[in-house]
Amino acid sequence: MPKEAIIDFEYALLGLLSAAPMSGYDLRKAFATPLSRFSASPGGLYPALRRLERRGLLAARVDRSGELRARRLYQLTEAGAAALDAWIRQPIDQEMVARRLDLVLLRFVFLEGRGTRADAIDFLERLKGELARYLDLLEAQVESLKGMFTLHQRLAAENGVAGFRGQLAWVECALTELRSA
């Protein structure tokens, strides 16, 4: 059997911990923003940290520096860093763009600090290409179905297409900003 696969949530943990060692509680706070796609509740968090530790992707040490209750501070191992890098740099395919754009964004965030400016530009360049291709496909699809749509259905379809167009616009904007910086 191949080694156990790493799930999205676990990659999010690896990514957050790549910036700085943190405790489970710190991670919970990190998830407690309205934009986070994961829950800040401990239900999935602590078991995931244990799993990652067991698999050698995280290392834990007990921190008693503060006067508070001792807490387990997690940090990436080399294997964890390698797994994170591989995840970040995996190709961006149509399925990603169509259904997992939020995760692509997350990978972009984590790429900062784990790659050069050129890497980031390249990442967005590839995202832009795949996004444009998918948008073409989507628009063709909508166009071909146009005759069968009711008014609301057409509006909803346009909503979907507009969303991806917005994403494409964002990528272009982000690219110029990255290039000028």
Partner DNA sequence: GGTGGCATGTAACCGGTTACATGATTAT
Partner DNA sequence: ATAATCATGTAACCGGTTACATGCCACC
Fill in the DSSP letter of residue 50.
Answer: H
Q: Binding to its own copies by residue 108, rule CB under 8 A?
A: yes
Secondary structure class of 67 (helix, strand, coil): coil
Q: Which residue, among 49, 65, 57, has the nearest Cα to 86 in the 3D structure?
A: 57
According to CB under 7 A, which residues from 64 to 83 bind DNA?
66-69, 71-72
Secondary structure class of 145 (helix, strand, coil): helix
The letter for the amino acid at 146 is K
Contact partner at residue 7 from its own copies, DNA, none, CB < 5 to 8 Å by partner kind: DNA
CB of 38 to DNA, least distance (A): 5
Secondary structure class of 38 (helix, strand, coil): coil
According to CB under 7 A, which residues from 47 to 66 bind DNA?
47, 49-50, 66
* 113 φ/ψ sector (left φ>0, alpha ψ -120 to 50, else beta): left
Q: Binding to DNA by residue 141, rule CB under 7 A?
A: no
Site residues (vs its own copies, CB under 8 A): 33-35, 98, 105-106, 108-109, 111-113, 120, 137-138, 141, 150-153, 155-160, 162-163, 166-167, 169-170, 174, 177-178, 181
